[in-house]
């Protein structure tokens, strides 16, 4: 069943020199219990997409057009107070730096207990018991004792586990995980991703996993959406996109991943950089960096077309067909 729908949303930031579009006509669907990877370089529009879903775009930024629907209900036009009720209860969030997600002057237990009392209507005793259970569930040792400690008394990996517990404790149906493991070492990263995947499967929670790491996507997600310069360039099942990428940008991302056991192979580099938001090119935004670009790419913006289990926005795919 479809849980989340993004229908042609445009996120805009007004400036003195004119509006800047950070997300340009993005359309996505996410089913219940599904993990969708949102991947691309810095500046692709991934985090802004997450902020648009949660209603956390900082003014003067705004969703200029399009709709965000949760369980069929439009939420992008809700009043701030109504949106606050949805955040936490219906939509949880896990951010890259857990120190920015946890209040340093409250104990971990107080933050978990208050969240459950507000969103689930539990009394203090019941909420405290469930808070202990959640800390145990995310792998915090001696949860009853750690419940009364402050965030600075936890390691980075343990803080991120607490943030996962905080995001899941109100039993939301959607989690926005924005680079949740970037600041962690590889071993802790693997533990956190396995934990997030298991808890979401057990609770039927859908996840949008924002990352620039295709390896993380391959291990965790069911489907993957590749963004470039604010637009969707390819989407499909993880196996299809990783094994047979169709868009040149997706191919470049896949070829830039180191191959285990092949020390002599040089990594493929995507020449150039992400274009700026001001004065966008009329054609495909990736054309200046694409070694396969044709004249049409530079003058006409491609629209997504069906391809296997998903879609791709590329004139070269149309030529091949």
Domain range list for the chain? 34-56+79-228, 231-259+282-321
Which sign, positive or negative, has the C-alpha torsion 306, 310, 312, 317? negative
Residues in a beta bridge with 71:
none
Q: Tell which residue, 192, 199, 202, has the closest CA to residue 156.
A: 192
SS3 299: helix
Residues in a beta bridge with 176:
93, 208
Q: What is the pLDDT of residue 197?
A: 87
Measure the CA–CA gap between 55 and 57, rounded to whole angstroms. 6
Q: What is the pLDDT of residue 318?
A: 62
pTM: 0.91
Mean pLDDT confidence for 278-290: 88
For Cα atoms 102, 105, 110, give the angle at the middle one, nearest 5 degrees: 70
At 183, is the pLDDT very low, low, confident or very high (cuts 50, 70, 90)? low
Mean pLDDT confidence for 281-303: 91
- How many Cβ atoms from other residues are within 10 Å of residue 185's Cβ? 10
Q: According to CATH, what is the number of the domain 34-56+79-228?
A: 3.40.50.300
Between 133 and 213, the higher pLDDT residue: 133
Inform me whether the pLDDT recorded for 185 exceeds 90: no
């Amino acid at each position: 069943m479809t849980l989340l729908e993004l229908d042609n949303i445009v996120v805009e930031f007004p400036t003195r020199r004119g509006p800047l579009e950070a997300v340009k006509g993005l359309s996505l669907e996410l089913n219940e219990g599904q993990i969708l990877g949102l991947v691309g370089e810095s500046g692709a529009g991934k985090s802004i997409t997450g902020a648009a879903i949660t209603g956390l775009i900082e003014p003067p930024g705004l969703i200029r057009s399009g709709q965000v629907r949760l369980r069929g209900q439009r939420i992008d036009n809700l009043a701030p107070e109504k949106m606050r009720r949805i955040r936490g209860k219906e939509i949880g969030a896990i951010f890259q730096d857990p120190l920015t997600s946890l209040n340093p002057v409250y104990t971990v237990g107080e933050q978990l207990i208050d969240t459950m009392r507000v969103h689930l209507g539990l009394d203090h005793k019941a909420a405290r018991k469930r808070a202990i259970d959640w800390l145990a569930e995310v792998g915090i040792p001696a949860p009853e004792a750690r419940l009364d400690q402050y965030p600075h008394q936890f390691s980075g990996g343990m803080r991120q586990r607490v943030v996962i517990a905080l995001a899941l404790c109100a039993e939301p149906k959607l989690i926005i995980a924005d680079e949740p493991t970037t600041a962690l070492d590889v071993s802790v990263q693997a533990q956190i991703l396995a934990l997030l995947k298991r808890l979401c499967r057990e609770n039927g929670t859908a996840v949008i996993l924002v990352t620039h790491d295709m390896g993380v996507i391959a291990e965790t997600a069911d489907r993957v959406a590749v963004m470039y310069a604010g637009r969707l360039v390819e989407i499909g099942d993880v196996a299809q996109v990783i094994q047979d990428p169709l868009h040149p940008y997706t191919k470049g991302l896949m070829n830039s991943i180191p191959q285990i056991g092949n020390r002599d192979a040089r990594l493929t580099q995507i020449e150039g950089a992400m274009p700026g938001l001001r004065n966008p090119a009329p054609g495909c935004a990736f054309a200046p960096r694409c070694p396969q670009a044709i004249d049409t790419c530079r003058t006409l913006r491609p629209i997504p077309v069906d391809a296997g289990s998903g879609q791709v926005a590329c004139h070269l795919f149309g030529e091949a067909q």
